[in-house]
Structure 1
Amino acid sequence: MRRVHPAVIVTLVISSVLVIVGAVVVAVSNSTPTTVGWFAYQPMAGSLLLPDGVLLTGPAIAGAVGVVLGLVGLAGVAGFALGRRRSAGG
């Protein structure tokens, strides 16, 4: 049985933590209400204006970047493990 390189384990742990923490940050930052305002005109009385789409805040973007970096790290570890297994077998 081959030993696993310590860098692989460190990358696996850091990538997993990035994915989990990033997902939690995105979930928490999107669950809190965000106010958007502008002063170009006075809205009509009794009307409700809602923004279309998703409003990304700074923490939501940072969390999404963390998730993407973590997934890239996990894909790298998986590719390294597959390549090492194939080179050992033949």
Structure 2
Amino acid sequence: MSNRIRPEIIGWGVVGLVILVGVVTIAVGLLTPVTFGWFAYRPLADATFNPVGDALLVSRTTVVGFIVIALGLIALAFLAGWRLARRRTTEL
């Protein structure tokens, strides 16, 4: 075995790093309070909308985190399938 780092190990490291970045991004997004306002028209009642219970508001940061994790998991599945397929071709 040579002293060079194999490209496969670098791939696994990059995928792990992408997933970790996604998790951190989601954590930051969920810890940031989400505020919004609706100024298109005057409300019909003097009631104030309070999104408790039924409404789930996520920030753009959280959505980006979910997208990054999804891409990382897709890359992880690709690397795992590539590794299994390569192992099977060497056994034949």
TM-score norm. by structure 1 comes to 0.77
CA RMSD across the alignment: 2.3
Structure 1: which 4+ aligned runs deviate by more than 4 Å?
A: none
SS in 2 for 1:33: coil
Q: Give the aligned length.
A: 86
Percentage of matched positions with identical amino acids:
33
Structure 1 segment 38-53 matched on structure 2, within 5 A:
38-39=38-39, 40-42=41-43, 44=46, 47-50=48-51, 52-53=54-55
Question: Which runs of no fewer than 5 residues in structure 2 stay unpaired?
Answer: none
Structure 1 residue 26: Cα displacement: 0.7
Asked if 2 retains the 8 angstrom alpha-carbon contact of 1:12 and 1:73, the reply is no
The structure with higher relative contact order (CA 8 Å, sep 6+) is 1
Q: Paired residue for 2:69? A: 67
Distance in 2, matches of 1:78 and 1:56, equals 31
Distance in 2, matches of 1:72 and 1:35, equals 32
TM-score norm. by structure 2 comes to 0.75
Distance in 2, matches of 1:22 and 1:9, equals 20
Question: Which runs of no fewer than 5 residues in structure 1 stay unpaired?
Answer: none
Letter in 2 for 1:44: D
Structure 1 residue 62: Cα displacement: 1.7
